[in-house]
Chain A
Amino acid sequence: MFHMPKFEKIWLAIGSGSLVIFLLITGMMAISMGLNPPDGMETTIEPEQVESSAPFNNPGLEKIGKNEYVATITSFVFGYDPNTITVPEGSTVHFQVTSKDVMHGFHIPGTPTNLMLTPGHITEYTQTFNEPGEYLFVCHEYCGIGHEMMFGKIIVEETI
């Protein structure tokens, strides 16, 4: 039905073939290694009142095991609560973050922690910090006139 020169068939076969391999690898990483992008199907009460009930009535860092923490964070125009978090190196942090008003972002450059914060929803992601240092996190979704002033820090302390 579609006349194609031989070279075009080879060209398309190589292109489509590598695409299939690529998608298989991506798919296997998702299924067998659990490497999925951040999500979270939990919803909250009205965004402007999230601070009146758990878990966002008590934002902050909670230790739940050896080197394992839950970081409960709220975002708002134009900041985060808490905006500084300190953990020892090698810590695994389970983030649960929401917004009290408009869309915000939560990105720790240099890590795959790159979250969209939607009012009414809880975004969840787990990140392990193996390298000590001061990690910046920034809002990377336009949220208003002070958007570029919205950031915080994660301090990963060296353990001796």
Chain B
Amino acid sequence: MSIQNEVSVEKDEQKNALTDFEFERKDSNLIMAYIGFSIVAIFLGATAGFFQMMQRAGWIELPNWLTYYQLLTAHGVLLALVFTTFFIAGYFYSGVIRTLDGKLTPLERNLGWIGFYLMLIGSLGATYLILTNEGTVLYTFYAPMQASPWFYVSLALLIVGSWFGAAGIFAAYIRWRKNHKNETSPLFAYMAVATLILWIHASLAVAISVVVLLIPWSFGFVDRVNVTLTRVLFWYFGHALVYFWLLPAYVYWYVNIPQLIGGKIFSNSLPRLTFILLILFSVPVGLHHQLTEPGIESFWKFLQVVLTMAVVVPSLITAFSIIATFELTGRSRGGKGLFGWVAKLPWKDARFFATVLGMFMFIPGGAGGIINSSYQLNQMVHNTWWVTGHFHLTFATAVILTFFAISYWLIPVLTNRVFTKNLNRLAIVQAILWTSGMLLMGGVMHFAGLEGAPRRSAYSTYGDHELGLTWISYSQVIAVGAVILFIAILLVLYIWMNLLFFAPKSEKTIEYPIGVINERAEEPPRILERWSVWIAVSIALSVIAYAVPIYQLIVNNDPGSLPFRSW
């Protein structure tokens, strides 16, 4: 008997059979550690973003011990690298424990803790160096600007720590497979494993860049560094990084949301296919971040543009599956006619509402992404504010709103405190504020970018040039968005503090929502669980896309660059 039938039978016969799951204390401590530190990181990172935007709009002057670029570095490192990695680790551990026999073995848990502490040391080290102006090189740390060697060491610890965290999850998955021969793995665990395979593949490249090229250079063991090579290795990782943020949001959309809204997972195969396609097409695409730079031949840039666009297919499958789940749920609750089911969805539940706002914003965000990676069109927007606008709609809106929604049930499951009606109402207001703030900020950044306003630049009128003055006007509208967002981050912090410390304790166990698979869904093909095949294909595609350009960079007489500290 297949796993999904077992689950649906349990659910049908005994309505609460799935809801009385509780984490063991040792496991929930691990999850809580990851989620807890991610809250610290997002608050600090968002605060840095707020002051940074106030400076760029010309509304405040920063004190002489703190520069715009320090704030920008903190904003990027704390949000793009620290917050995400911690939150995703916590969320993945929770769902993996929940779906893989309910608890971790001591080995798996210890791997999780080693990962946590390595990442913690790395994050604190990097933050300290940014605050002391020793690492003002932004989160992309492009050479030959050279930060303190300890900045690179800190980043390496963050990455290596995440590998230990991933190892704990792999170990749990392997243990489950051993104990459940010939069964299809639970969807949550499958997706977590897929995402972490992608993460390890991609982050190996940036680890090589940091450990082999940048650390010896920053300690002065070698004089020069091949700048383009470090950039290519960074972007080998960098674009997969954005899918590493997005895939956990997809996990929530596919697996948890159906249960929250009283529906079922639409298909057991297509979500797995989606994740496999994303493993394949997230790495051999990084050159689309480097379309306008020398040292890389046009042919390889174009090839990677084609591979980049392949991501459209899993995105379309996801859009269809998620909306199908919503429609079936709405209809099962009595929704009639073409759109009657929409009204039947739980719009007053922040765990649903915030996510759907995020999904909507992902549509213009994704469309903008296609423009960014469109070979020639990229020249109109590359390194302008358009790009910043793009990932503030996709990542900072779609993904982050989804993460907020996850936190509204995950923290209660861990603390056994109730997400009360009042907190839910606040969370709905928060989601609306967040979306409006991001629309104002991310939306207007797109227009400013089309006018040529550069990203990553402090307040400047460019010698009172007409265009420079126009950009300042745009900055001020964007800064209004930043103010709204800062209020929204304070609001979500208030909700979290309540869920952590003050909300009333629940008498019943709070449910960890894991969707049940639609009984009409077919058993997924076995090949989807043969990881060695997909890892091999993924490596092969990356070799095809990257071998020649990297070889050319190494033999192309690059004179190498001495270090500079220009901040």
Q: In the complex, are the beta carbons of A39 and B313 less than 8 A apart?
A: no
In the complex, which residues of chain A have a beta carbon less than 8 angstroms from the beta carbon of B384? 107, 109, 140
- If A12-B316, A138-B462 touch, whether A103 touches B376 (CB-CB below 8 Å) is no
Output the least CB separation between A120 and chain B (Å). Answer: 5
Output the least CB separation between B479 and chain A (Å). Answer: 16
Output the least CB separation between A102 and chain B (Å). Answer: 5
In the complex, which residues of chain B have a beta carbon less than 8 angstroms from the beta carbon of A114? 292, 378-380, 382-383
Say yes or no for B2: interface residue by CB 8 A criterion: no
Q: In the complex, are the beta carbons of B559 and A120 less than 8 A apart?
A: yes
User: Which secondary structure dominates where chain B touches chain A?
Assistant: loop
| Partner of A11 from B302, B320, B522 at Cβ < 8 Å | B320
Residue of B nearest to A27 (CB): B302
CA–CA, A147 and B73, complex, Å:
14
In the complex, which residues of chain A have a beta carbon less than 8 angstroms from the beta carbon of B462? 136, 138, 151
Q: In the complex, are the beta carbons of B560 and A139 less than 8 A apart?
A: no
Say yes or no for A1: interface residue by CB 8 A criterion: yes
Residue of B nearest to A138 (CB): B454
Interface size class of A (residues with CB under 8 A): 35 or more
| Partner of B559 from A4, A43, A138 at Cβ < 8 Å | A43
In the complex, which residues of chain A have a beta carbon less than 8 angstroms from the beta carbon of B453? 109
| Partner of A41 from B273, B292, B316, B556 at Cβ < 8 Å | B556
Say yes or no for B61: interface residue by CB 8 A criterion: no
Say yes or no for B8: interface residue by CB 8 A criterion: no
Output the least CB separation between B225 and chain A (Å). Answer: 10
Interface residues of B (CB under 8 A from A): 67, 69, 72, 138, 142-145, 227-228, 231, 267, 269-270, 273, 290-298, 301-302, 305-306, 309, 312-313, 316-317, 320, 324, 374-376, 378-380, 382-384, 451-460, 462-463, 465, 467-468, 521-522, 525, 552, 556-562, 564, 566-567
CA–CA, A139 and B309, complex, Å:
29
Say yes or no for A66: interface residue by CB 8 A criterion: no
Q: In the complex, are the beta carbons of B302 and A101 less than 8 A apart?
A: no
Say yes or no for A67: interface residue by CB 8 A criterion: no
In the complex, which residues of chain B have a beta carbon less than 8 angstroms from the beta carbon of A1? 269, 525
Residue of B nearest to A46 (CB): B559
Q: In the complex, are the beta carbons of A103 and B227 less than 8 A apart?
A: yes
- If A30-B375, A109-B452 touch, whether A136 touches B460 (CB-CB below 8 Å) is no
Q: In the complex, are the beta carbons of A23 and B298 less than 8 A apart?
A: no
CA–CA, A88 and B262, complex, Å:
69
Q: In the complex, are the beta carbons of A120 and B560 less than 8 A apart?
A: yes
Chain A 132-143 per-residue mask, 1 if CB under 8 angstroms from chain B, else 0 = 001010111111
CA–CA, A95 and B143, complex, Å:
24
| Partner of B142 from A8, A77, A103 at Cβ < 8 Å | A103
CA–CA, A45 and B558, complex, Å:
8
| Partner of B293 from A8, A39, A78, A147 at Cβ < 8 Å | A39
CA–CA, A115 and B488, complex, Å:
37
Q: In the complex, are the beta carbons of A151 and B298 less than 8 A apart?
A: no
In the complex, which residues of chain B have a beta carbon less than 8 angstroms from the beta carbon of A12? 313, 316-317, 320
Q: In the complex, are the beta carbons of A116 and B559 less than 8 A apart?
A: no
Q: In the complex, are the beta carbons of B559 and A47 less than 8 A apart?
A: yes
Residue of B nearest to A16 (CB): B313
Say yes or no for A122: interface residue by CB 8 A criterion: yes
Beyond contacts A1-B525, A37-B379, A121-B228: 8 other A-B pairs, Cβ-Cβ < 8 A, are: A3-B521, A30-B376, A37-B301, A114-B382, A116-B293, A136-B468, A144-B566, A151-B462
